[in-house]
Structure formats: C-alpha cells, structure tokens
Amino acid sequence: MSLSRRRFLSQSLYAGATLGTIGLFGAPAIVVAETRRPALTHGVMSGDVLPGRAMLWSRSDRPARMMLELADNPEFRNARRLVGPTAMPVNDYTTKLDVTGLGDLEALHYRVRYAALGDEQALSEPVVGQLRLPPSQSRNVRFVWSGDTVGQGWGINPDLGGMRIYETMRQVKPDFFIHSGDTIYADGPLEERVALEDEATWKNIVTPAKAKVAETLDEYRGQYSYNLLDENLRRFNAEVPMFAQWDDHETVNNWYPGEILDDPRYTEKNVSLLNARARHAFMEYMPVRQTPDAPERMYRRFTYGPDLEIFRLDMRSYRGGNSTNRQSVSDDSTAILGDAQLQWLLDGLRRSQATWKIVAADMPLGLVVKDGERYEAVANADPGRPLGREQEIARLLEALHQANVQNVVWLTADVHYTAAHHYSPERASFQNFTPFWEFVSGPLNAGTFGPGELDATFGPEAVFTKAPPPGQANLPPSAGYQFFGQVDLDAESRELTVTLKDTAGLALFEKRLTPA
C-alpha cells in the first residue's frame, strides 16, 4: 500500500470540504417516514478530473445537505466522510463539490446521500459512483468522445431502450469522456410521436420543458433534467468522468454574442440574455469546475498523466458574428477563439510536456458549416489564403510550427456524422504548419446528416467518412448512424490509436499514430 493511500485512509485530505461526523452515517438505522427523506433525482456525476482532484455532482428533490463517503475500494472500507453543500432552489437543488487532496489514488469510489435540513435522521437512499483518476506514472489510458444529445426531434425512445449509445460507451470502460458540445438541444422541442418513412413511429418521452424552445432559466434547466431521465446516461455518468464542452444548441442554433433573434418561436429575442440563462443552467447541471477568478470560463487545460493533456476549447462565447467570413483583415469580427483564448491555447501547447496534446474543439476546422448565407464555423468555402475566422487558426498553426510543437490531435463533433481528416501543407493554400489529424464523431442521440464539404485552405483530406446515403438527412437514431470515438494510449510505445465506432460498438475506422 502506497504512502498516499495510507494517508487517504487515515487523514482528511479534502481542501474546501468539511468532514462529516461518523454518527450521521454510522448510527443504527432508524425508521423514518418516506415523506421526510430526500431523494436523489438524477443520479451522480463526476468531471473535470485532475491529479488528486475531481468534481462530484448530484441533485436532491428538496432542500437538503449533500453527504459523501469516499473510499479506494467498492466495499467502502475505511471510507472518509464529507459534508457537502446544501441543495437549494436557487441552484435547482443541484450540488457539486470540488474534492481535492486525493493523492495518487488510481480509483475513487464515492457514495452520495442527502440529509433533510434540521432532521439528520432523514437520509436519502445512497447512489454510488466511481471514477479513475489521472496517473502520476505512464499507464495505458482509454477515453471516448462524441457530441449532440437529443437533437432534431429525436428524444428518449423507451421502445428502443433509450439512448443506447451511452451504454455502448460505458462497456468499453473508458477513463473519461469528452462531450464535444450540444449537450442539450434547448431550441429543439419534442413531439410524442414522429412518423418514419418505413411507416413506423418514433416515440419520445416528453416533459413540459421539452415541449417548447427554452427561454427561461427553468426551461433551460429542464433540458438537462430531461436527458438525465435516461438510464443509460445515468449509468454512464456514475462510472465515467466527463469533460463537458458547450456549443450553440445549449442556447439556440448558431448563436453568437450580441445576436437579435428572428425566430417567431421566441418571445425573448436577446440572445445575450438567453445565453446568460443557458450558461447558468449548464454550470448547475454539468460537473464543471468554476474558479473565483473566472467562474463562467469554459476553456480549461487538464493533465492526464505524463503522456496526455487535454485542452478544452470554447469556440462559441468569444466569436464575432456569423458573416461571409471572408474578411481580409483580422479583428473582433473575425474571432472564433478570441485573443485571450488563442494566446492561452498557444502558450499551453508550447509549454506542455505531455507526449500527446488533445485539442477538444466544439467545431471542426476544415468543414464548411453554413448558417443560411453566412458561415458558422472556421471554414468559408474559399480554398485560397486564410480569410475571416481562418486567420486566427492560421496564426495558431504557424506559431506551433515555428515552436516545433508535435503530436497535436484535434477531436470534435458538431456535424452529426463521423470522419477522419488529415491536414497537410502539401495540399493547402496556407502551408506554414505541421501536419495533423482531426477526428470527428457524433451524434449521440440526434439526427444524422452529412457529409460536409471540405475547404482546402489548410489542406484537409477526408481519409474516412461514415454518413447517411446521398439525399438522406436527419435520420433518427434507429437508422444506425450514431457514432463515438475511442482513443487508446499505449504506455509502452506511447502510440495513440483512434477508433471510430457506432452504437453497436462496431469499429468503423482505426488510425494508429506514432509520436514524433
């Protein structure tokens, strides 16, 4: 048994949290009326893991105190006990705790209860979770990524067993999950029945919050609580820590700061106000870490052992308005990351000592994504020199090339199909960069589209694509075009293997990358 593990079993190692009393958990059972007992409504979650540190999340059905037990074993022998925050209406009864001081534990087992305020004998039934923490030494690592949950009218269909792709991902036993954005579709109401082309019917579970577009804070909250009705997702969340990103559908399709909506479904047209409500709900319902200096900042850096580092981007909050995207001068109107985030990413990648640097992007770089006659992503369908938002990416790629930063891999979702793109200066108009790979995978439970057009500015080649047949769009999850990506890091060779998979877990494409 390592020293740090002995310390875990014998000492309090949790900064910012209070040790609970043994009596609260260990007292003889007392019969308490069920109406006095709180309940966990949506399971448990973990996320934003760092060495010796993790965010833990849950939700009560009423005002109550979050109580936790932590152990290095599933039997909870010698468990440590923590008193967490109070679930209150101001946060929709959600609570999350930044648990620190876990040393070099490999696995953390946790158990969450809620205690009624003023009635500590009235305890909820416990819900158990587990997570694997980043290693201090090289070891094999496996993680998955994807995006786009409950979109285009396709919700939780009990006839099909709900969102089964989450169970498929759970079964590969990943260390963590990158949710690449569109974690909800706040602008996508559901109907109870949707007619399919083969005369079948898709059946949705529908809640009041999912019956209309989200505008109020409570309606945005309802989008997250809807997804957590799915047993597959709750089971996945209890075992796999998440790095959650956000994109447009957490607020409204293709939004940008300062936009005024032209959509008759909305009584509130101010997107900046809608976004403030949406961001508040996201922070409540996702296990993301908030810091006093930047409580709403999404972009963060996560070290996962000596060979892996994840850079989580926010390509939504700092962008200029969607436009023709062909401006020849770079300014605020051409931003996609913004100056501060761009510099943060560049500095982090240059300083990183990890063998592999994973850039978790909420949008692809070379795929043309339209917003009517405007452009939503980086590419602008002009294969020439970088223009518009492409200029920001060109500055990043050129600076990384000049600094000889190697082994950068981009992962994304957003476009609702799966693909492997290789970017090379030999095929590009802009040539001062080091070749790299971008892998795309999604959706998780949304309509399937694609494939999209590639813009040649940075020389992308679609080495692999899996998308609906020509002429077909918004295919339901039952059509079989739902995808996730799996990444395996081999500790001995330090090779990174990326595998694109479908709902059944079938490997569609595999690429083994050797570190430079």
Read off the CATH number of the domain in which 8 is found.
Answer: 2.60.40.380
Specify the 3-state DSSP secondary structure of 16.
coil
Distance CA 20, CA 30 (A): 19
Phi and psi angles of residue 37, each rounded to the nearest 5 degrees, phi first? -90, 130
Beta carbons within 8 Å of 10's beta carbon, 6+ residues apart: none
Please give the average per-residue pLDDT across 360-369, as a whole number: 97
- Closest residue by Cα to residue 152 from 474, 480, 444: 474
Number of H helices and E strands in the chain, helices first, is 8, 26
DSSP string, 371-387: ETTEE-SS--S--SS--
Element (H, E) at 342: helix 339-351
Specify the 3-state DSSP secondary structure of 171.
helix
Q: Are residues 456 and 351 in the same domain?
A: yes
Please give the average per-residue pLDDT across 159-176, as a whole number: 98
Identity of the amino acid at 166: Y
- Residue-number span of the structural domain to which 35 is assigned: 3-132
Confidence bin at 29 (pLDDT 50/70/90): very low
Please give the average per-residue pLDDT across 243-248, as a whole number: 97
pLDDT digits (tens, 9 = 90+) for 372-392: 999 999 999 999 999 999 999
pLDDT given at position 188: 97
Distance CA 101, CA 383 (A): 50
Distance CA 52, CA 69 (A): 16
Q: Are residues 127 and 160 in the same domain?
A: no
pLDDT given at position 31: 53
| Other Cβ atoms within 10 Å of 328 Cβ, number | 10
Record the tokens describing residue 64, joined without a space.
């109550």
pLDDT digits (tens, 9 = 90+) for 429-488: 999 999 999 999 999 999 999 999 999 999 999 999 999 999 999 999 999 999 999 999
Place of tokens 């200096």: 293
Please give the average per-residue pLDDT across 317-343, as a whole number: 97
Phi and psi angles of residue 250, each rounded to the nearest 5 degrees, phi first? -65, -20
Through-space distance between the first and last CA atoms of the chain, rounded to whole angstroms: 36
Confidence bin at 264 (pLDDT 50/70/90): very high
Record the tokens describing residue 47, joined without a space.
């996320």
Is the pLDDT at 32 greater than 80, yes or no? no
Q: Are residues 206 and 105 in the same domain?
A: no
Q: Are residues 271 and 161 in the same domain?
A: yes
Distance CA 34, CA 264 (A): 45
Is the pLDDT at 125 greater than 90, yes or no? yes
Domain CATH code at residue 361: 3.60.21.70
Checking DSSP bridges between strand 53-60 and strand 201-203, what pairing results, if any?
unpaired
CA 432 to chain CA centroid, Å, is: 31
Helices (H), 216-335: 217-227, 231-237, 271-285
| Other Cβ atoms within 10 Å of 354 Cβ, number | 16
What total number of domains does the chain contain? 2
Record the tokens describing residue 490, joined without a space.
């081999």
pLDDT given at position 12: 41
**Range with lowest mean pLDDT among 12-21, 92-101, 386-395:** 12-21
Confidence bin at 35 (pLDDT 50/70/90): confident
Dihedral sign (CA 13, 112, 147, 335) = negative
| Other Cβ atoms within 10 Å of 469 Cβ, number | 7
Please give the average per-residue pLDDT across 153-164, as a whole number: 97
Peptide bond before residue 451 is cis, with ω within 30 degrees of 0: yes
pLDDT given at position 218: 98
Q: Are residues 80 and 159 in the same domain?
A: no
pTM of the model: 0.95
| CB hemisphere CA count around 269 (13 angstroms) | 5
β-sheet bridge partners, residue 108 = 131
Domain end call among 132, 163, 186: 132
Q: Are residues 111 and 212 in the same domain?
A: no
β-sheet bridge partners, residue 299 = none
Domain end call among 101, 132, 163: 132
pLDDT digits (tens, 9 = 90+) for 217-237: 999 999 999 999 999 999 999
Instruction: Determine what percent of the chain is predicted with pLDDT higher than 90.
Output: 91
**Range with lowest mean pLDDT among 12-21, 209-218, 323-332:** 12-21
pLDDT given at position 8: 52
Q: Are residues 226 and 276 in the same domain?
A: yes
Q: Taking a C-beta distance cutoff of 8 angstroms, is the pair 78, 70 a contact? A: no
Is the pLDDT at 95 greater than 80, yes or no? yes
Q: Are residues 317 and 208 in the same domain?
A: yes
Domain end call among 97, 115, 132: 132
Q: Are residues 76 and 212 in the same domain?
A: no
Please give the average per-residue pLDDT across 83-100, as a whole number: 97
3-state secondary structure 37-76: CCCEEEEEEEEEEECCEEEEEEEECCCEEEEEEEECCCCC
Distance CA 368, CA 388 (A): 13
Q: Are residues 21 and 170 in the same domain?
A: no
Distance CA 246, CA 446 (A): 16
Distance CA 30, CA 23 (A): 12
Record the tokens describing residue 454, joined without a space.
């590639």
Distance CA 318, CA 232 (A): 34
Q: Taking a C-beta distance cutoff of 8 angstroms, is the pair 446, 411 a contact? A: no
Helices (H), 51-205: 164-171
| Other Cβ atoms within 10 Å of 24 Cβ, number | 16
Q: Are residues 117 and 155 in the same domain?
A: no
Is the pLDDT at 16 greater than 70, yes or no? no
Q: Are residues 128 and 147 in the same domain?
A: no
Confidence bin at 5 (pLDDT 50/70/90): low
Please give the average per-residue pLDDT across 408-419, as a whole number: 98
DSSP string, 415-469: SSSEEEEEE-GGG-SS--S--EEEEE---SBS-B--PPPBPGGG-EEEEEEE-PP
Please give the average per-residue pLDDT across 140-156, as a whole number: 98
What is the overall mean pLDDT for the chain?
Answer: 94
